[in-house]
Amino acid sequence: KSELKTFGRRKWRGVASLFRFSYRSQTLNRTRRMILQGVKEKAVGQIPVFAGLGTFTIRSLSLTSLKGMGMHAEVKRIYMQNNLLTSFEGWEFQPSLEELHAEENFLESFRGVCEQPKLESIWLQGNPITRCYCYRVMAICAFGKSLRYIDG
C-alpha cells in the first residue's frame, strides 16, 4: 500500500500520481524538485532490460539516468516513456536507431545526446522541453539531419 501524500488540497498516492499532476501544474520546476528529492537515482545499468527483436524497452521504470545504457547495434526502436529523466546524459550512440519514444519524462534539454545517423522519428510530448519556442530545431541539431518526424 502506497503512502498517502498531500499536495495542495488534493491527496495523491505515490510518485507516479504526483508526476501526472505535476506535469500539468504551472509550477513544474518546483514540483519536480519536490518529487525528485525523495527519489533515489536509478540508472539503466541497474535494471534488467528487454532488448530483443530490434526493440529496447525501458518504459515506466522510474529511471533518473541513462547511465549504463550501452550501445546496441541491432536496436531500431527505443521506448523510454513515463520515467523521471531530466536529460539524455548517459545516452550512447545507437547505429541502427530509427524511432525514439521519450514521452512523459522531465526532459529539459538535449544535453548528452550524440548524433544518430538513422533516427527518423522522435516523440517528446509531455516534457518541459516541448515548451521551448524552437525545440524541434534543437532536436534536429542534437540528433542529426536524418530526423523527419518530431511528435508524430
**What would the pLDDT profile of 19-44 be if each residue is shown by its tens digit?**
444 444 444 555 555 555 666 666 76
How far is Cα 105 from Cα 139, in angstroms, rounded to an integer?
Answer: 16
The single-letter DSSP state of residue 83 is: S
Architecture of domain 41-150: Alpha-Beta Horseshoe (3.80)
Q: Which residues pair with 123 in a beta bridge?
A: 101
Q: Quote the pLDDT of residue 39.
A: 62
pTM for the model? 0.71
Q: If you average pLDDT over residues 115-120, what whole number do you get?
A: 95
Neighbours of 89 (CB within 10 A): 13
Please list the residues that pair with 99 across neighbouring strands.
77, 121
Q: Which of 2-11, 85-94, 113-122, 138-147 has the lowest mean pLDDT?
A: 2-11
Residue 3 predicted with pLDDT over 70? no
- Is pLDDT above 70 for 15? no
- Quickly count helices (H) and strands (E) in the chain: 3, 7
**CATH 3.80.10.10 residue ranges for the chain:** 41-150
- Does residue 87 or residue 27 have the better pLDDT? 87
